[in-house]
A and B are shown apart, each in its own frame.
Chain A
Amino acid sequence: EVQLVESGGGLVHPGGSLRLACAASGLTFTNYWMSWVRQAPGKGLEWVANIKKDGSDKYYVDSVKGRFTISRDNAKNSLYLQMSSLRAEDTAVYYCARIATDGWWYFDLWGRGTLVTVSS
């Protein structure tokens, strides 16, 4: 079965750090750009970051630049999001998502998400 499974969410204090992980299975991980997308409680979807197939290019939404780092380990079929200097507004469910391979920018597979709560 093709799936993405996130882990690493939890409660963290403002200013703290957290590392999210996404384990991919049933797919050839190196064929895909990967992303993190988040959803604040009761709100819509927000793209957070992308990483190229080989990890050589990374892109971020302005609000997380300098605080979040996306990375991947292709040998482990895993995607990561290192989050630091966390703020209350970073509270959200974080989804790992696979970008389609047909040359257009959209997500064709999502994980179930992991909840990050930033609160004192």
Chain B
Amino acid sequence: SYELTQPPSVSVSPGQTARITCSGDALPKKYAYWYQQKPGQAPVLVIYKDAERPSGIPERFSGSSSGTTVTLTISGVQAEDEAAYYCQSADTADTWVFGGGTKLTVL
């Protein structure tokens, strides 16, 4: 199996850009996905296949990939974006991996 590594926390002021990274040796060969989880709520998919945005997700959410690192970027951060963010990857039905999660704090 493999691991995905995220920073435990990221802090930004409202209106600034937040960048949350996810690193893993297998990422150059696999897509990554991002989920947002607010306290007491279920996760919500915000980015799929590295950089695709599901319908209903604000345009300020974007994703990118470079080598062994994928990045979730939130432009013009709003207070409502404060949440935990998890990256995830999988290439077969039984090789699911989540990153440890990053707590985004909006100052």
Contacts and interface: CB of A to CB of B under 8 A. Distances in A.
Interface residues of A, number: 22
Given A44-B86, A104-B48, A106-B48, A113 B42 contact: yes
Given A45-B101, A46-B98, A47-B98, A95 B42 contact: yes
Q: Which bucket holds chain B's interface residue count?
A: 20 to 34
A45 B93 contact: no
B42 A47 contact: no
Given A105-B91, A110-B44, A47 B101 contact: no
A44 B43 CA distance: 11
B94 to A, nearest CB: 4
A50 interface: yes
Contacts of A59: 93-94
Given A60-B94, A107-B45, A108-B48, 17 more contacts: A44-B98, A44-B100, A45-B35, A45-B86, A45-B88, A46-B98, A47-B97, A47-B98, A50-B96, A52-B93, A61-B94, A104-B49, A106-B31, A106-B48, A107-B43, A107-B88, A108-B45
User: 4 tightest A-B contacts by CB?
Assistant: A47-B96, A105-B90, A59-B94, A110-B42
Interface of B: 31, 33, 35, 37, 41-45, 48-49, 54, 86, 88, 90-94, 96-101
